[in-house]
Structures are given as structure tokens and as C-alpha cells.
Amino acid sequence: MATLQKIRNKGPLLVIVIGLALFAFIAEEAMRSIQSASNESRQQVGEVYGEHISVHEFQNLVDEYAEVVKFTTGNSALNDEQLTQLRDQVWNTYVNNQLIEHEAEELGLTVTDAEIQAIITEGNSPILAQTPFRNEQTGRFDANILKKFLTDYEGMKAQSGQIPAEYMDYYNNLYKFWMFIEKSLRQNALAQKYQVLLGKAMLGNKVVDKAAFEARTNESDVLMAAIPYSTINDSDVKIEESDLKAKYDELKERFKQTAESRDIKFIDIQVKASAADKAALDKEMAETATALAEGGDIAKIVRESGSVINYSQLPVSRSFFPADIAANLDSMSAGQMKSPYYNAGDNTMNIIKLFAKVSAPDSVELRQIQVAGADMTAIQKTADSIMTALNSGVAFDSIAKKYNQTGEKTWLTSRNYEGATMDAQNLDFIKTVTNMPVNTTKKIDFTQGCIIVQVTDRRAMIDKYDVAVVKCPIEFSKETYAKAYNDFSHFIASNQTQKDIEANALKSGYNLQERKDLFSNEHYVGGVSNTREAMRWIFNDDTEVGDISPLYECGDNDHMLVAILTGVHPEGYRTMEDMREYLTREVMKDKKAEMLTAKLAQAKSLADVMKEKGAVSDTIKHVTFGASAFVMKTGASEPMLSAVASKTAVNQFAGPFKGNAGVYAIQVTAKNKTGEKFDAQKEEMQQEALNMRAISRFAGELYEKAGVKDNRYLFF
């Protein structure tokens, strides 16, 4: 009882303690939830219609497309610039597909499996033309070849353990490539349905078609007189703040932007080799030239020289080499060496030593059967059996099918292997097939198996060169870079405000550049590669106008960059202050037009206009309503002149009227009609093409409506 009484006495305190404990628990869970949501939001690459795509999901799309590009081009890797372009393509495709799918869902548009199969069977899609499933005779996509591949692939997967890994990898990649093509066909078909639906909503008619034809074929020859706006000094025009405000309200829709942009000033310095660096390279090149002249292990000499072009153990074509090297090869004879020379095009020192020139095919068509087995004895036995059958006249295709292979013909071109690093076995394979006569068959042994190869065609016999090329860039040393870094760091440390940098940059030998309206999807600052960190700083929410960035090492490890944020322009309408310069020009043009129009109010002829100071005249022929006339004397395109001429009778004076570059008056001297005959079907097709171009502009409206957010700069 005493204990119970103590609890009762402490009741209010216990309630408070328990309440605080519960609050702490709830708060902790809330903080975890907030932290989790924050971490998740930081992993979002972008957003379309409120749907987020994570960096992981986006990277999967990039990887998928990268594999397709590598498969179709034969490249094993993509460089930084190629990856940047690829990411842009993937992002644009993703956004466009999201926009179309959203609209299609609301409209009830779908693409069925049967429709995709029909597209494949017909084989007319340009997408299908990019696949290797083409008929050799027609060069067109062949659905039967695709079906055969898919059937063979399923059979190969069931026996993957008995098929060489390289062969299986190729078929796996080809299958992934087809899956990508099929997905692209579905997306393209849905987009076409949507475009056709919009196109049908934009109905033309015979009146519109006839008017378009008349606008294009009715021509006027005119005499023109004009007074350019430049004849009035800007200082003679008074512009009020109210004028700018009125013009801003009039043109406000022009000033709308769908993404934030920022203004910066920046210093970018590129480190270059010093005189000492160049002298050191000259010495090394002289030593390399001596070594090449004496002979020995050529591949080792070239490799140790630091050349950007390795020595090829196979003769290679001129197209393999940079232009400056290729230009020298034809004039050189076997055994000749060109001493170290400078090439300004790529800032390199070069040596060329030609050993031999041979004639070889640029392309070889071949087919092959890969022989597998439990051990080399079994493999050789099977290979000998295959060779015996082939020599006795059994068809190559039928033997290939017996071993679950297609035996299809493929082309091996110089670009497939030139410059590639090859082991001794692959080198032997290339040498063998490029030297085999047509319609001959050979067994080529490898460490873990063998291949039966038959050459079926050889084309484009070209000169190939056994040549050692030493191409060494003139690069800066570590000492040179360190000095440039220390000097630049000292400058930044001594000038810690925007005002100081602006005042002292040029004095210290640095060029302060300015860039307005930088968008986050541009990837680079000042065109310098590897400036992602600088982009992240520029677009960071915590970066304020006037802030100076850290010193970034960028480019190909040869640039240093510092940026200053000078302005932020949020998504939406640009402010009047942002557009003041543009508005001032437009108002200036309006006021000058008013002044000149008033001056010409009593003009009744071109002669009256030409009396005015600064007036110019010209003859313009073939003016149509359908195209803007270009006036050579004022250097401007003038759609208003085309419109006025189309409604002015022969010998009639018209003007004054405002143009883009001045105030004009015209007199029509002749009206002509081109020899083109009206073709209702042709006009209808042209109007449909115009409608499709108009539809493409709807994408901007959809983009804005979808609330697209692009945060790729945070990750790539």
C-alpha cells in the first residue's frame, strides 16, 4: 500500500516523464523519417509529372544504352565526352517518353504486342534497318533472320557450357541489343500514334491549301526606300521607365524560362609546357630516334618513348593514323625515317620510321565454326572430322547447324582490329584470315580450342604500312604545374572579393571571363571538361551572389578554374531588370520608328523618302507573302515588307511602315506568278508537314506542364 501511495503521489511527475519519453520516441522516428526522405531526395536525378527517377534507375538506362552503342560501334569503352552525350540522349529520350506516355494514358492510346509483331514482320521501320538482321541480297531487315537468331539463341543458352565463352558473350550482347530495339519500337510506335492523333486534330481545308499556294507563287518586284534607325543617335531618344514597363508587359511571354539559370564570371587558366619542358622532350626524342635507327625491339622502343600511338605488329592502313602522319607515309620509302618534327595541329613532336609497305584487303568476309570438347584431344579429333567433311564437299552451313552454330558470314574490316591490343593467338588469327585466298578453309588452333574458318570474300585491296610512329605531346612537367598552381592560389588568396578580382585579374595576367544564363544541363564551365564540381558549386542553393568558388583543377588535368556567382534567374518570368538591355533596344527601335514615320507622313513617292538624310534605296525581286524579304541595304530580314508588297497594286506607293531595321516605303513595279501549277494533293501534304512541325512545338508546352526537374549536374 505504501508503494502504491508513493506512485500516486508521483503520478503527475510520471505522466510528464512518460510523455517526454513518448515525445522523444516519436521525435526520433520523425527525424529518421525526415533524414530518410532527405537522403532519398538527394538521390533523385530528375522528376517528370511528380514521378522521380533515382540516380540508380537513370544509370541503368545509361548502361543499357552504352552497351548498345559499344555493340554497334565495336568500341570496348566510351570516353568522357561520349558518355556525356550519351547521358543527354538518354535523359531526353526518358523525358520525351514520359511526356508521351502520360498524354497517351489520358487519351487511352496503347501499343499492343500484336502491333509490335506487325511492325517487325513488315520490316519497314528505320529502327529495324539499324540491326544486323538483314537479308544479304536486299540489304533490308528480314524478320525470318531475326526469328532464326532467337531460336538459335534459346538453343545455345541450353548448351552454354559447351560453347566458347567469347561466342556466347557475343550472342548474349546481340540478344540484349534486340531487347533494346524492341523497346524502342514500342516507344516509337506510341509516339507516332500520339502525333497522328494531334495531326488529325489540326484539319486543313482547300481554302487554306489554296492560300498557301498563292502566298508561295505570287511574286512582286519592288522598288524600296528606307531610312535606317541608325540615322538617329540614341542620345536623341528619350526613354522613360514607364516605356520599359509597358514593353515588358507587352513581351512578357518571351521572357519565360522553364529552368533556373545563373550568371558567373570566371578565370580559367590552361597550364602549358615551359621552355625547360620542351628542351627535355627534345632530348628524349633525339635518343628515341637514335634507338629506332639502330633497330632492336621496335615495340619496346615505341612504348618506352611515351608515344600516344603504339607500334602495331600488323601492317595498318593510312586511316589508322592522324592526318599529319598519314600525309607523310605515301612519300616515304621502306627503311626511311623522318627525324623529330613538330606538328602544331596537336602540339606534338613526331618520329616516323617506315619498315615496309604491303597490299592487303581492307575487308574480309568469313564464316567460322568454333570447336569445343572435353579436352584438346577431343577438340582436335572433332576439328579434323569437320575439315574432312568440308574437304569432301559437305556444306559449311549444315556442319555449323550440327554443332548448334549459325555459320553465318560476317565481315572483318581493318577498323575492327587496327590499333587493338592483341595476344599472340589473336594476332595469328588476323594474319591468317587476311592472307587466306577466297573459298579456302583452315583450322586455327587456340590454347583452349580451335576454330574452323572459311574466307568467302576479300574486298578493297589497299596499301598498309609496317611503320613505327612516335608521337609525343609537348606536356608540362610537375614543376611547371606546381608553379602555375601556387601563383594562381596566391592571386586568389590576395583577392578575396569580386571587386578585388575584377580590379586585379588583368594586372596579374589572368583573363576574367563572363557567362550569362548558364544552365545546369550544359555540363561544362567555359567549355572546359571535368568541371562538374564547379557546376555543383555554381548551382548549389547555398551559393550566394558575390561568392567566390574554391580553386578547381579540371580539364585533362591541365586547367585551373575559379568562378564568381554574379546572378540567379529562377524558373519562371525573367524580371524587368534582367531584360532591361533588351527592352531598351526594343523601345529605342519603337521610338525611332515613330520619329521617322512622323517625318515621312507627307511622303507620296519614293522620291519624297529619298530626300531625307540617310535614306537608302534598292530593288528587290521575287518578293512573296510566304517568305520574309531580305533587304541588302539595311542587312535585315523584313517580313512586313513582304506583307505590304503582297497587297499593294502595281505602280502604287505604300508606306511609310515600320520594319526591323528601319522605316520603309515601297513601290511595286511588277506582279508575276511562278510556273508552278496548283496540285491539291501536294499542298495537302505540305500543310500536313507544317502541322507536324507545329505539333513538335507542343513538346515545350508538355515539358512545362510536366514540371520537369533536371538534377543530373549533381551526379554527372
Q: What pLDDT score does 41 carry?
A: 53
Task: Return the SS3 of 575.
Answer: coil
- Return the pLDDT at 19: 47
Amino acid at 254: R
In the beta sheet, which residues pair with residue 343? 348
Contact 525, 518 (CB under 8 A): yes
Query: Could you give the angle at which helices 580-599 and 241-251 cross, rounded to 10 degrees?
Result: 100
Judge whether 409 and 134 are in contact, CB under 8 Å: no
C-alpha distances out from residue 425 to 75, 394, 422, Å: 21, 28, 8
Select from 520, 466, 202, 200 the least CA-distant residue to 358.
466
The pLDDT confidence band at residue 681, using thresholds 50, 70 and 90, is confident
Q: How far apart are CA 672 and CA 507, in angstroms?
A: 64
The arithmetic mean of pLDDT across residues 354-380, rounded, is 86
For residues 82-87, give the mean pLDDT.
93
The pLDDT mean for the chain works out to: 88
CATH number for the domain formed by residue range(s) 277-473: 3.10.50.40
- What are the tens digits of pLDDT across the range 590-609? 999 999 999 999 999 999 99
| Residue 553, pLDDT score | 97
pLDDT computed for residue 31 by the predictor: 44
List for the chain the helix, strand, coil content (%; round to 5): 50, 25, 25
Looking at the DSSP bridge assignments, the partners of residue 359 are: 463
State how far the Cα of 366 lies from the Cα of 521, in Å rounded to an integer: 46
Is the preceding peptide bond at 132 cis, omega within 30 degrees of 0? no
CATH number of 218-253+578-673: 3.10.50
Distance CA(65)–CA(115), nearest Å, equals: 24
Give me the residue label for grid cell 534507375: 57
Residue-wise pLDDT for 47-79, tens only, equals 999 999 999 999 999 999 999 998 888 888 888
**557-588: pLDDT as tens digits:** 999 999 999 999 999 999 999 999 999 999 99
State in Å, rounded, how far the first CA of the chain is from the last one.
71
Q: What's the residue count for the chain?
A: 716
Nearest to residue 449, comparing CAs of 348, 529, 501, 374? 374
Q: Which candidate, 591, 617, 631, places its Cα nearest to that of 227?
A: 617
**Backbone φ/ψ region at 575: left (φ over 0), alpha (ψ -120 to 50), beta:** beta
Distances (CA, A) of 183 to 161, 341, 379, 503: 29, 52, 40, 57
Q: How far apart are CA 278 and CA 679, in angstroms?
A: 70
What DSSP letter does each residue of 182-236 carry, written as one string?
HHHHHHHHHHHHHHHHHHHHS---HHHHHHHHHHHHEEEEEEEEEEEGGGS-GGG
**pLDDT for the residue 40:** 53
699, 102 contact by CB (below 8 A): no
Tell me the C-alpha to C-alpha distance, in Å, between residue 242 and each of 237, 448, 687: 14, 85, 42
Res. 16: pLDDT tops 50: no
Of 20-24, 463-467, 680-684, the poorest mean pLDDT is in 20-24
d(CA 528, CA 560): 10
* Grid cell of 141 as nine digits: 531487315
Q: What is the pLDDT of residue 42?
A: 66
For residue 207, pLDDT beyond 90: no
pLDDT at 5: 45
What is the band of 94 on the pLDDT scale with cuts at 50, 70, 90?
Answer: very high
In order, the DSSP letters of 350-365 are EEEEEEEEEEEEEEEE
Most confident of 154-158, 270-274, 408-412: 270-274
Whether 10 has a pLDDT exceeding 80, the answer reads no
pLDDT reported for residue 526: 93
The single residue listed with the C-alpha cell 517580313 is 639
- Per-residue cell: 514: 563572363
Question: Contact, 184 vs 585, CB < 8 A?
Answer: no
**Mean of pLDDT values over 205-227:** 90
Residue 37 has pLDDT above 90, yes or no: no
* Structure-model confidence comparison of residues 637 and 318, the more confident one: 637
Between CA 211 and CA 687 the distance in angstroms is: 11
Cell of 692: 507536324
Separation between Cα atoms, residue 316 and residue 552, nearest integer Å: 41
* pLDDT, tens digit, 9 for 90 and up, residues 603-641: 999 999 999 999 999 999 999 999 999 999 999 999 999
**Can you give the residue ranges of every domain in the chain?**
2-41, 51-201, 218-253+578-673, 261-272+477-570, 277-473
> Helix H segments across 42-142?
55-73, 80-107, 113-122
In this predicted structure, the answer to whether residue 464 has a pLDDT above a threshold of 50 is yes
* Cα–Cα distance measured from residue 346 to residue 467, given in angstroms and rounded to the nearest whole number: 20
Residue 221 has pLDDT above 90, yes or no: yes
Instruction: Return the pLDDT at 166.
Output: 77
**Picking from 222-226, 250-254, 355-359, 473-477, which range would have the lowest pLDDT averaged per residue?**
355-359
The torsion region of residue 282 among left (phi > 0), alpha (psi -120 to 50) and beta comes to: alpha
* Nearest to 547, CA basis, from 593, 500, 498, 504: 498
**Interior angle at CA 582, CA 243 and CA 525, nearest 5:** 150
Lowest mean pLDDT segment, chosen from 118-127, 200-209, 444-453, 650-659: 200-209
Helical (H) or strand (E) element with 174: helix 165-201
Q: With bands split at pLDDT 50, 70 and 90, how would you rate the model's confidence at 2?
A: very low
Domain pair 218-253+578-673 / 277-473, same fold: yes
Give the chain's largest Cα–Cα span: 121
Determine what percent of the chain is predicted with pLDDT higher than 70: 94
Chain centre to alpha carbon of residue 370: 39
Q: What pLDDT does 449 receive?
A: 77
Helices (H), 108-164: 113-122, 143-158
Confidence of residue 486 (pLDDT cuts 50, 70, 90): very high
**Average confidence (pLDDT) over 266-278:** 96
Partner residues linked to 265 by β-bridges: 514, 564
